[in-house]
C-alpha cells in the first residue's frame, strides 16, 4: 500500500511527517557523498560526522541554498535516501506533500516537484510554507480574516499575510540564520583574528547572541585557527560583540515584515494587528527577536512552543485531505505573485 508523507526540505533541516506516526525524520539537510560514485553514504548529523572521519573522496553536500534547490542531482539522491529511511521503496511509492517558500520561482517549484518524483514519489503536491504554517498554528485559513505569518528560517525570512485560503501579500528575503552565523564568523575573524567553523559561529549565536541590548554581559571561550599561520588559538567573546555583528541582518529581517504589512490591504492588516504576528522557524528562538519584532511593528507576537516544526506539522495535517486540498496544491505549483 502506498504511504502518504509530508516533507519540509529546508535549507538547514529536512523534516518528514507520516500520517500515522507523526514527525518521523528531522535531520540536517546534509548528505555524506562519495565523489567517485555520487552515492549517499549517510544523512544529517551522521553525514557530518562521517565526513570528518573519512578520506578526501567523502564530502558533505547541502543541496539547498536560500530555500531553493541548487544541486538538482544531489537533491534527488538525498530525497531518495530520506524516503528510504522513512520506509518507502520502489514497490511502495508514497504520495508526497512538499512545502515550498512563497517566494519560490516557478523554476524552483518545478525543480522540487521533479526531484521528488525522480526520487520515487508517486505524486508530488506542493504546498506554500506560510499556508502550512498557518495550519500548524491552528489558524482557520479559509476564513476571510487576515493573519500574518513570519518564518525566520536558515536561508530565508518570509512574511506572508493569508486570508481565504490564499496568500494576499508576502515579502521574502533570501537571508536567514545561516547568514547570521556567517556574520558572527566574520566578526570573530576580523576583530579577534581567529577563524572559527560554522558550528562554532552558530553555537555563539544561540548561546550568547541577542537582539536585545540590555542582556547581562556573558563571555564564552571559543577555539579556532589563526588565519595567517593556521595554528590553533582561542579567544573570549562577549555577547555584545555578537549582538553588534548580527544587528544589521536582524534589522533587515524585521524591515521585511514591516514592508509586507504596509503592502497589505488595510482591512486585512487591521485583522492581522488584532490577531498578532505568528512567528516560527528556528530563528524565532533568537534571544530578543520576538520582542524586537513586536516593538518595531507595534503588534503582539505569538510563538509556538516548538517553532521549528510548525510548517511540517501543518503540512502533515493536510495529509488527511490530499484529495480535497487539490486547489491549494495546484496554485502552489504556479506562483501568483
Ligand X SMILES: Nc1ncnc2c1ncn2[C@@H]1O[C@H](COP(=O)(O)OP(=O)(O)OP(=O)(O)O)[C@@H](O)[C@H]1O
Q: Which is nearer to ligand X, 132 or 286 (CB)?
A: 286
Q: How far is the CB of 164 from ligand X (least distance, A)?
A: 24
Q: Does 176 bind Mg ion (CB under 5 A)?
A: no
* Cβ 161 vs Cβ 169: under 8 Å: yes
Query: In the sheet where 166-173 sits, what is the strand order?
Result: 166-173, 157-163, 147-152, 277-280, 301-303
Q: How far is the CB of 99 from Mg ion (least distance, A)?
A: 8
Q: Which is nearer to ligand X, 205 or 271 (CB)?
A: 205
Give the distance between the most distant pair of CA atoms in the chain.
62
Kindly give the pairing relationship between strand 147-152 and strand 277-280: parallel
Q: Does 283 bind Mg ion (CB under 5 A)?
A: no
Q: Which is nearer to ligand X, 139 or 201 (CB)?
A: 201
Q: Which is nearer to ligand X, 229 or 305 (CB)?
A: 305
Residue 242, Ramachandran bin (φ over 0: left; ψ between -120 and 50: alpha; else beta): alpha
Q: Does 10 bind Mg ion (CB under 5 A)?
A: yes
Binding characters for Mg ion, 104-143, by CB under 5 A (x = yes): ----------------------------------------
Q: How far is the CB of 10 from Mg ion (least distance, A)?
A: 4
- E strands, the chain, are 4-9, 13-18, 22-28, 31-34, 40-43, 58-61, 64-65, 68-69, 95-100, 123-128, 147-152, 157-163, 166-173, 219-225, 232-238, 277-280, 301-303
Q: Which is nearer to ligand X, 153 or 314 (CB)?
A: 153
Q: How far is the CB of 26 from ligand X (least distance, A)?
A: 9
Q: How far is the CB of 23 from ligand X (least distance, A)?
A: 13
Binding site partner of 159, from ligand X, Mg ion, none, Cβ cut-off 5-8 A by kind? none
Using alpha carbons, list the distances in angstroms from residue 131 to 3, 126, 183, 249, 312. Answer: 23, 11, 31, 25, 11
Using alpha carbons, list the distances in angstroms from residue 63 to 57, 144, 321. Answer: 17, 38, 30
Q: Which is nearer to Mg ion, 11 or 243 (CB)?
A: 11
Q: Does 153 bind Mg ion (CB under 5 A)?
A: yes
Total number of residues that touch Mg ion (CB under 5 A): 2
**Residue numbers at the binding site for ligand X (CB under 6 A):** 10-13, 67, 153-156, 176-178, 202, 205-206, 281-283, 285-286, 308
Among 293, 191, 202, 303, which residue's Cα sits nearest to residue 252?
Answer: 293
Q: How far is the CB of 285 from ligand X (least distance, A)?
A: 3
Q: Which is nearer to ligand X, 94 or 101 (CB)?
A: 101
Binding site partner of 314, from Mg ion, ligand X, none, Cβ cut-off 5-8 A by kind? none
Binding site partner of 202, from Mg ion, ligand X, none, Cβ cut-off 5-8 A by kind? ligand X
DSSP 114-158: HHHHHTT-SEEEEEEHHHHHHHHTT--TTSS--EEEEEE-SS-EE
Q: Which is nearer to ligand X, 154 or 200 (CB)?
A: 154
Q: Of 5-13, 79-87, 205-213, 314-322, which part binds Mg ion (CB under 5 A)?
A: 5-13
Cell of 100: 515550498
Using alpha carbons, list the distances in angstroms from residue 284 to 253, 295, 332. Answer: 11, 15, 25
Residues interacting with Mg ion, by CB under 5 A? 10, 153
Amino acid at each position: 500500500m502506498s504511504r502518504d508523507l509530508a516533507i519540509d526540505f529546508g535549507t538547514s533541516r529536512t523534516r518528514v511527517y507520516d500520517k500515522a506516526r507523526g514527525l518521523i525524520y528531522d535531520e540536517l539537510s546534509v548528505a555524506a557523498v562519495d565523489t567517485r560514485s555520487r552515492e549517499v553514504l549517510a544523512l544529517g548529523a551522521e553525514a557530518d560526522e562521517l565526513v570528518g572521519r573519512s578520506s578526501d573522496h567523502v564530502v558533505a553536500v547541502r543541496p539547498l541554498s536560500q530555500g531553493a534547490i541548487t544541486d538538482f542531482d544531489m537533491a534527488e539522491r538525498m530525497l531518495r535516501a530520506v524516503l528510504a529511511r522513512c520506509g518507502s521503496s520502489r514497490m511502495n511509492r508514497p504520495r508526497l506533500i512538499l512545502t515550498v517558500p512563497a517566494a519560490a520561482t516557478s523554476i524552483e517549484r518545478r525543480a522540487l516537484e521533479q526531484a521528488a518524483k525522480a526520487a520515487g514519489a508517486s505524486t508530488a503536491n506542493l504546498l506554500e510554507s506560510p499556508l502550512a504554517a498557518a495550519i500548524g498554528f491552528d489558524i482557520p485559513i479559509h476564513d476571510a480574516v487576515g493573519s500574518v505569518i513570519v518564518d525566520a528560517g536558515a536561508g530565508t525570512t518570509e512574511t506572508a499575510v493569508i486570508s481565504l485560503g490564499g496568500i494576499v501579500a508576502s515579502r521574502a528575503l533570501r537571508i536567514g540564520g545561516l547568514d547570521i552565523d556567517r556574520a558572527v564568523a566574520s566578526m570573530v575573524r576580523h576583530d579577534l583574528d581567529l577563524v572559527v567553523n560554522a558550528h562554532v559561529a552558530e553555537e555563539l549565536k544561540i548561546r550568547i547572541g541577542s537582539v536585545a541590548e540590555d542582556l547581562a554581559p556573558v563571555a564564552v571561550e571559543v577555539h579556532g585557527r589563526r588565519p595567517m599561520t593556521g595554528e590553533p588559538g582561542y579567544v573570549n567573546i562577549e555577547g555584545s560583540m555578537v549582538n553588534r555583528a548580527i544587528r544589521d541582518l536582524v534589522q533587515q529581517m524585521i524591515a521585511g515584515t514591516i514592508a509586507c504589512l504596509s503592502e497589505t490591504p488595510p482591512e486585512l492588516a487591521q485583522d492581522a494587528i488584532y490577531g498578532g504576528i505568528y512567528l516560527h522557524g528556528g530563528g524565532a528562538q533568537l534571544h530578543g527577536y520576538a520582542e524586537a519584532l513586536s516593538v518595531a511593528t507595534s503588534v503582539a507576537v505569538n510563538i509556538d512552543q516548538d517553532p521549528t516544526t510548525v510548517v511540517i506539522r501543518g503540512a502533515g495535517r493536510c495529509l488527511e485531505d490530499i484529495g480535497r486540498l487539490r486547489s491549494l496544491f495546484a496554485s502552489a505549483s504556479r506562483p501568483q505573485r
